[in-house]
Amino acid sequence: MRRSTIWVVTASWVVLAAAPASAASGQLDTSFGGDGIVAVDFGGTSEEFKNGVQVGSKVVAVGAVDGDFAVARLRAGGAPDANFAGGDGRRTIDFGHEDGAYGVAVYPDRRVAVVGWANDASGDARLAVAVLQRGGGLDSSFSGDGLATVRSPDGLPAFGYDAVVQPDGKLVVVGESYDGVNDGRFVVCRFTRKGRVDRTFSGDGRVALNIGSETDGAWRVELTGTGKIVMAGWSQKSTYRTAVARLLPGGRLDASFSKDGVRVLDLVPGNDYALGLALTTDDGVVLGVHADNGGADPHVVKLTPRGRNDPGFGGGDGIVSNFADGFRLVDIGVRSDGRILGVTSSGISIASFLVSAKGVYSTHYGLAITDTTAEIEAMHVDGLGRPVITGREGGEASVIRLQA
């Protein structure tokens, strides 16, 4: 189930006009670009942002432009960062054929790893990584030229969706292998600091997990405090179901998590899959789930460190739902105060919400609705607890920041 949405942008850096926003929580943050929405143009005909990450006070957004990786860096106020990529704050990366970026991770020294997919000459996708120096140039200490591609161990086309940097500097990339029809698996690859496939990880540096009878994919990844790798996404068996897996640092499934390292949740009779993932300080797993059983119904699910539904969360079943019917869940994150922040979309507006660490929906914050037709793809929480969203508004690839 290769997930793709195409965003289109215009011919220059612009700040989009939007409805006036108040200073209320969840509304557009007017200190960002003047109205809370900033768009970027790379000069292409087909452009998109898929994800973003905070690097200090700045935002790095990644995606694709005309079949190449696209990367932009914004200052805290939304202006392009003149210290990135030659002065205009944006750049593209070409692996030689069609490619695109989905995820981004930050090294402790603020280098950035951008992950996605790159086709070979035959049109088969490979998991792809580009590592950038702080100034935006390719980092030649990684794989000799800053670029690396890897095939899936099952021989299927592979797509990288998310990544995380270990404390030792190794890079873990997750995604899916997918034949374009009905065969797919969770895919994990670990790279050394020098950009080589790490042979200490599962023998050849790669893992392919076959969870369901049809397609499986890992959309998000996090590391526990002890270096275990937690992945969340989907597993298909007639319908899509939410899937979570945890690996030991060496690449084997962690049998202390749900007895075999894998947990599949069938939350509604229709389709559900995890689009958001965060870990609590005790390595509990928080999932943001898009569920659709004839209508969208976002779910927030909390699992214990052992992979069971957390009885201390929500109504005792580890689940919070029925607070935003008709809205599609896009992403979640955990704020520094332990509260869970999420963003959703209805197609004609976006909305954010807060849930306490115990799963109590915040009626004070409520479902903060912003009247914009922005199509949103991902969200991260910045150092001030604000949701920073990547997507498009009015046909232009955009970064949106809301009030905390």
> DSSP string of 365-388?
T--EEE----EEEEEEE-TTS-EE
Quote the percentage of the chain above a pLDDT of 90: 80
Instruction: Please write the tens of the pLDDT for every residue from 332-350.
Output: 999 999 999 999 999 889 9
Instruction: Please check the confidence at residue 274 and state whether its pLDDT lies above 60.
Output: yes
At residue 146, the pLDDT reads 97
At residue 23, the pLDDT reads 55
Beta-bridge mates of residue 112: 106, 132
At residue 7, the pLDDT reads 25
Report the mean per-residue pLDDT for the chain: 91
Work out the average pLDDT over 361-372.
86
At residue 392, the pLDDT reads 78
Instruction: Please check the confidence at residue 320 and state whether its pLDDT lies above 50.
Output: yes
At residue 86, the pLDDT reads 83
Assign 396 a pLDDT band (cuts: 50, 70, 90). Answer: confident
3-state secondary structure of 196: coil
Instruction: Please check the confidence at residue 192 and state whether its pLDDT lies above 70.
Output: yes
Dist. CA 209–CA 35, nearest whole Å: 44
3-state secondary structure of 353: strand
At residue 47, the pLDDT reads 81
**H helix runs in 142-270, sequence order:** none
Instruction: Please check the confidence at residue 54 and state whether its pLDDT lies above 70.
Output: yes
Instruction: Please check the confidence at residue 10 and state whether its pLDDT lies above 80.
Output: no
Instruction: Please check the confidence at residue 38 and state whether its pLDDT lies above 50.
Output: yes
Instruction: Please check the confidence at residue 18 and state whether its pLDDT lies above 70.
Output: no
At residue 372, the pLDDT reads 82
Write phi, then psi, for 319 (nearest 5 degrees): -130, 140
Quote the percentage of the chain above a pLDDT of 70: 94
Instruction: Please write the tens of the pLDDT for every residue from 68-110.
Output: 999 999 999 999 999 999 889 999 999 999 999 999 999 999 9
Instruction: Please check the confidence at residue 19 and state whether its pLDDT lies above 50.
Output: no
At residue 395, the pLDDT reads 65
Cα dihedral value 94, 96, 102, 103, nearest 10: -70
Work out the average pLDDT over 35-55.
89
Instruction: Please check the confidence at residue 13 and state whether its pLDDT lies above 50.
Output: no
b/e per residue 70-98 (b: at least 16 CB within 10 A): bbbbbbbebebbeebbeeebbbbbebebe
Say if CB 234 and CB 245 are below 8 A apart.
no
The pTM (predicted TM-score) of the whole model is 0.91
At residue 12, the pLDDT reads 32
Instruction: Please check the confidence at residue 324 and state whether its pLDDT lies above 70.
Output: yes
At residue 365, the pLDDT reads 87
At residue 92, the pLDDT reads 95
